[in-house]
A and B are shown apart, each in its own frame.
Chain A
Amino acid sequence: MIRIVTLEAFDPTDIQALARTLFQAFGLGTEHAGDRALPSDVEQDDGRYDAEALIAEVAPVKTFADDKVLYLTSVPLALRPGPLGEPPCWGFAQYGGEKAVVSTSRFPARGVSEASIDAWRKRLARESIHAVGHLWDLHHCYDARCAMHPSWSPSLPASPEADLCTFDRDKSERKIRLAKT
């Protein structure tokens, strides 16, 4: 089961659309598990939130074995700098774990037109599939059409597809089949 938890107010229709897409991508039931407050102590001096600390500090929701929790927020997230600098953060997931967070701060504006809202929802779905994919042990994919392609990659199209490639789909299905529940 995938449980979506919002850390701010989101449009319910957006959440419904996201739940549908996640169900199609992974074949797992998806529901909105409520709202939680954003932990304020993980905010950095530059106004961004430490993604790693955020999912460690946020109030938990009730889960069962193999449940995955996806937190949605609109605040900008930050990661620890690596040997070559800090990678841009669209979200963060515990690889093979339970919790992931996706930020909409880097998305294009949601706007009010149907097209812009659709594009925004599609991007939200893509980043959510990416984060939940990491929770199911998927690595990044070289295929720019796959949702597991790195979100900052220059080869990513402006409106990327919210779908997994064949290899990642097979791998995630295998992992889900082998899950405890």
Chain B
Amino acid sequence: MKGPPARHEEPKEQLPAVEGIISDAGELEPGDRVVYPNQGVCRITGVESKEIAGQKLDLVRMEREEDGAAVLVPKGKVPTIGLRKVASGDQIEGVFHYLAAQYDDPELDWKVRHRDNADRLIAGGVLGVAEVVKGLHALSRIRPLPAKEREQYDNARHLLVHEVAVSLAVPPGLAEDYIDYALMPPTGVTFKLKPPPKPVELPSRPRRKVTRTDDEDLGLDELGLDLELPEVPGAEGETPDAAAAAPDEAGALPALDLPEVPDVAAPQGEADELLEEAEEAEEAEAVADEDEDDLPVRKEELPQKKGKKVVPPARPEPSPHTGAPDKKKPAPRKAEKPAKAPARPVRPERAEAKPKVEKKKAATKPAAKKPAPKGGKKK
């Protein structure tokens, strides 16, 4: 029996190699200066053999110039770690022209941005590092960076400063002045810029876009329900700390866990399950509304994506007495919920299932809301 292919056998997307990348360990000579992605400029000190776990390995020994830390890389791994030569003069010139060029289009989706920036730092060469610095700098003009990205910005700047310093043979302090002179030119200073180099190509990933509207995916129209699903707080906003720390937790919100329902009318049993899930979604909405206030990002700061927010058409409320739509009285959002009950299909078996849920609620809610006894009173 043949199982699925192993992950490492999946074909990888071939991107054009960054200029100066070292594809063979034989190219390295002691004394060469190379750039180790995310580590900085290193100097090759030699090749040595070591026995590790019973295997004899040829290792390239490097020394990080910044602090003298030793780095050992197996010779066979050199082509895959993105080791590259220090940027040439032409590359650095391109970087400065890129830094000084106009840039008004920062990526607003923090998940995409954070992932792309991490890719750029690893595989983008010196221009990729410059792109991270410029992108996050442009974003910082719109709003302060969250802690993780502030750190990423600082790391990228550190890598760029040191590579520019090594490439131009200037002290790092001076290299940083050059970079910021290009990024933030003083008033009245204009540069004669060449066309900036082509941006770094990143591996294309399937981007999960939440395009479904409130009612479409659950097929609630067919069931006669008009439920509003809770908006996922932080799905597009600036909370990378929380979601980066626990990405599974962010995905565990009830709105994302709802099962996909086919467009055809669901059978009766499935419809019951959907109804129960929809009720749970209603409860989760109330919780999410409360939680939203606690988020550090204000609601008006969240970026609005075009075409994503679909305003449902105003539905006339059925009058409790006549059943006719009441056009004059626009009920508030929460007050709509009891009015939706008559729209549900009336089924005899539903009456049996409903008390079970109610019993559960009656058993759990008072216990949850019971105020803690104060320490002062003892029986």
Contact = CB atoms under 8 A, between A and B. Distances in A.
A47 interface: no
A171 B147 CA distance: 12
A87 B137 contact: no
Interface in A121-173: 134, 139-140, 142-143, 150, 152-155, 167, 171
A88 interface: yes
A148 to B, nearest CB: 10
B176 A82 contact: no
A151 B336 CA distance: 58
A115 interface: no
B182 A93 contact: no
Contacts of B140: 142-143
Contacts of B147: 167
Interface centre among B157, B161, B181 (most CB of A within 10 A): B181
Interface in B149-173: 150, 153-154, 157-158, 161, 168, 170-173
B174 A79 contact: yes
B92 A150 contact: no
A94 B182 contact: no
A150 B184 contact: yes
Interface string A82-95: 11110111001111
Contact of A83 (B92, B158, B171, B173): B92
B172 A150 contact: no
A96 interface: yes
A124 B92 CA distance: 34
A52 B174 contact: yes
A152 B184 CA distance: 8
Interface centre among B93, B157, B176, B177 (most CB of A within 10 A): B177
Given A139-B157, A139-B158, A140-B157, A83 B93 contact: yes
Contacts of A139: 154, 157-158, 161, 176
Contacts of A171: 154
B177 A87 contact: yes
A79 B177 contact: yes
A142 B177 contact: no
Contacts of A85: 181, 189, 191
A142 B184 CA distance: 9
A96 B172 contact: yes
Chain A contact residues, majority secondary structure? loop
A155 B96 CA distance: 21
Contacts of A88: 186
A154 B180 CA distance: 12
A83 B179 CA distance: 9
Interface centre among A96, A140, A155 (most CB of B within 10 A): A140
Given A83-B93, A150-B180, A153-B186, A143 B172 contact: no
A95 B172 contact: yes
A175 interface: no
A80 interface: yes
A180 to B, nearest CB: 13
B144 interface: yes
A55 to B, nearest CB: 10
B14 interface: no
Contacts of A92: 173-174
Contact of B182 (A84, A134, A152, A153): A84
B171 A95 contact: yes
B218 interface: no
Given A139-B157, A140-B180, A154-B184, A84 B96 contact: yes
A85 B186 CA distance: 12
B22 interface: no
A92 B178 CA distance: 12
A139 B185 CA distance: 17
Nearest to A81: B178
Contact of B100 (A80, A84, A140): A84
A111 to B, nearest CB: 24
A95 B176 contact: yes
Contacts of B184: 150, 152-155
B87 to A, nearest CB: 12
A93 B174 CA distance: 8
A154 B186 contact: yes
Contacts of A140: 157, 176, 180
Contacts of B144: 143
B170 to A, nearest CB: 6
26 contacts: A80-B170, A80-B174, A82-B168, A82-B170, A82-B178, A82-B181, A83-B96, A85-B189, A87-B181, A89-B177, A92-B173, A92-B174, A93-B173, A94-B171, A95-B161, A95-B176, A96-B172, A134-B173, A139-B154, A139-B161, A140-B157, A142-B140, A143-B140, A150-B177, A150-B180, A153-B184
Given A87-B180, A142-B137, A152-B181, 7 more contacts: A80-B170, A83-B93, A93-B173, A95-B173, A96-B172, A150-B177, A152-B184
- Considering the complex of A and B, which 9 residue pairs feature the smallest CB-CB distances, nearest first? A82-B178, A87-B181, A95-B172, A142-B140, A152-B186, A95-B173, A87-B177, A83-B96, A150-B180
